[in-house]
Structure 1
């Protein structure tokens, strides 16, 4: 059923990653040139993978265990993306013209929080189904 609370959490996580792709597209390098984050294959792949995993998890609402596993994979993917952002912000030299250090790091953290909430709701549903099956 698509009207469950974990679906809302997963939609919010997917929207946050989409916002990261749209609203955090530019970074300045050490020479002052503009690097488009969409042209970086690692960042693009991690963001696209996170969005794809969230959408697949939303659409597999009948298989709660698969949803749980996909959300865990998405959490790991977001931690990797967070690590890439932290590494890139630590290797930037000083302040640039437009300081963008730390702006994009916040969105994967918020996405991780919503994915953890979704996993808790999936686990709660699974426990409820198991308890009803015991009564039969």
Structure 2
């Protein structure tokens, strides 16, 4: 299980998504001088008042991380692992789209002066890349096993 490189890719992707749940995604400064922090759960003021809730993003990140983590333990069923990798990639693109949607909603609601994106903004992209690399490794293993079956 751990000796396969795709297991490390899947674990890495899951870890990046779990980190995204707890780290701030962006900081926003409005014309009024109020600073907001964007998290995967929502946009909150410095006093922890939630202004915009983004629970769909939080749930999608949580489901994606759980799917990728579960995928690690399916190493005996490569076809299902491949399918879960594809689902993980689709969920990753959905996560990026949903984050963009909420970003547009937030910019329309607030009079934004400036903003700073934090490192977790790229975590979904990193997770997609790692999941794709795991997909390639799993598919390569499946092709190798099938070719060995033909030799027998």
Range into which the TM-score falls when normalised by the shorter chain: 0.7 to 0.9
Contact residue 27 and residue 36 of structure 1 kept, 8 A: no
Q: Which residue of 1 aligns with 2:112?
A: 94
TM-superposed CA distance for 1:27, in Å, is 5.8
- Residue 10 (structure 1) aligned with residue 10 (structure 2): yes
Q: How big is the alpha-carbon RMSD for the aligned residues of Structure 1 and Structure 2?
A: 2.3
Task: Provide TM-score, normalisation by structure 2.
Answer: 0.76
TM-superposed CA distance for 1:94, in Å, is 2.9
Q: Which residue of 2 aligns with 1:50?
A: 64
Bigger Cα displacement from structure 2, 83-92 vs 4-13: 83-92
Structure in which a larger fraction of residues adopt strand: 2
Q: Which residue of 2 aligns with 1:120?
A: 136
Contact residue 9 and residue 114 of structure 1 kept, 8 A: yes
Q: What are structure 1's unaligned runs of at least 5 residues? A: none
Separation of aligned partners in 1, 2:37 and 2:23: 15
Separation of aligned partners in 1, 2:29 and 2:65: 26
Total equivalences in the alignment: 134
Task: Provide TM-score, normalisation by structure 1.
Answer: 0.85
Q: Which residue of 1 aligns with 2:45?
A: none
TM-superposed CA distance for 1:19, in Å, is 1.2
Structure of larger gyration radius: 2
Q: What are structure 2's unaligned runs of at least 5 residues? A: 43-53
